[in-house]
């Protein structure tokens, strides 16, 4: 599935790729509505329905990923609410071994995420995931999400790379579409980013776990 001799750089998404997306899904669909309802004294069902509509309206935009935006919009400390369920933050199976193999194989490993820096800092504190990476890039640095071509052009200015010799792994298909349109040569999806929700990807090569594509050990 992966021709490692043709790859110099590996770009990896965070949530749903290296980390289990269950934390984020649970937070936005269950924990946030519940705490908002408690804090503001409103019915949970009404709050959840309203929040779903608000959040869906921003999908694919940088604001959708911005904790500061949602903290201001909802008048809540979103990062503090995430800390309340931080025990749900989990590294996906075989990720640490995969990242170690990349290092041994001499591949450049770059985290390329739409996650807000506040969210990244919390997850790095709990997982030490950043220690395995050569570079960490948040789309908030460029003011464009990965869905936008402007992101990829800004990334190329920030970190020169050979697009044809780059592998990009992401669980979001619209992001993979954007990477494809930019010219990233090797694209890979994740079948089941949330361990609690079954999903099978169509349209892109996909893996369940990184054990399926481990770089060879010399």
Q: What is the pLDDT of residues 70-81, one digit of tens each?
A: 999 999 999 999
Cα distances (Å, whole numbers) of residue 151 to 17, 45, 155, 158: 19, 37, 6, 10
34: which 2 tokens? 């519940």
Domain boundary among 61, 87, 113: 87
Share of the chain above pLDDT 70, in %: 100
pTM beyond 0.85: the answer is: yes
Determine the Cα angle at 171 with ends 30 and 206, to 5°: 135
Q: What is the pLDDT of residues 5-45, one digit of tens each?
A: 999 999 999 999 999 999 999 999 999 999 999 999 999 99
| pLDDT at site 1 | 84
The residues, ordered by sequence, that sit 6+ positions from 148 with a Cβ below 8 Å of its Cβ are 178
Which residues form the domain of 155? 4-20+91-213
Same domain? 70 vs 96: no
Tell me the C-alpha distance between 87 and 162, whole Å: 38
Same domain? 97 vs 171: yes
Same domain? 135 vs 207: yes
Looking at per-residue confidence, does 129 or 217 come out higher? 129
Q: Shortest CA distance to 8 belongs to which of 160, 171, 206?
A: 160
| pLDDT at site 201 | 97
Please provide the average confidence, as pLDDT, over all residues in the chain.
Answer: 95
Q: What is the pLDDT of residues 158-208, one digit of tens each?
A: 999 999 999 999 999 999 999 999 999 999 999 999 999 999 999 999 999
Same domain? 83 vs 116: no
Domain count across the chain: 2
Give the largest CA-CA distance in the chain. Answer: 60
| pLDDT at site 217 | 79
49 in any annotated domain: yes
| pLDDT at site 58 | 85
| pLDDT at site 218 | 66
* Dihedral sign of CA atoms 199, 202, 204, 210 in order: positive
105 in any annotated domain: yes
Cα distances (Å, whole numbers) of residue 113 to 41, 84, 107, 138: 35, 23, 19, 5
User: Would the pLDDT of 148 be above 70?
Assistant: yes
Mean pLDDT of 40-67: 89
218 in any annotated domain: no
């Amino acid at each position: 599935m992966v021709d490692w001799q043709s790859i110099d750089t590996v770009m990896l998404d965070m949530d749903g790729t290296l980390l289990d997306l269950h934390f984020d899904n649970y937070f936005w669909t269950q924990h946030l509505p519940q705490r908002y309802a408690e804090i503001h004294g409103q019915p949970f069902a009404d709050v959840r329905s309203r929040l779903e509509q608000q959040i869906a309206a921003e999908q694919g935009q940088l604001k959708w990923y911005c904790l500061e935006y949602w903290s201001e919009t909802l008048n809540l400390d979103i990062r503090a609410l995430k800390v309340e369920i931080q025990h749900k933050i989990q590294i996906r199976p075989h990720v640490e071994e995969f990242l170690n193999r990349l290092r041994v194989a001499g591949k450049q490993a770059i985290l390329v995420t739409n996650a807000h820096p506040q969210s990244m800092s919390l997850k790095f504190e709990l997982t030490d995931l950043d220690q395995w990476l050569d570079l960490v890039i948040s789309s908030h640095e460029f003011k464009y999400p990965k869905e936008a071509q402007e992101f990829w052009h800004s990334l190329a200015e920030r970190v020169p790379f050979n697009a044809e010799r780059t592998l990009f792994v992401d669980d979001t298909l619209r992001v993979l579409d954007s990477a494809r349109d930019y010219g990233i040569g090797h694209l890979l999806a994740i079948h089941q980013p949330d361990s609690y929700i079954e999903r099978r990807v169509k349209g892109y090569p996909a893996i369940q776990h990184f054990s399926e594509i481990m770089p060879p050990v010399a």
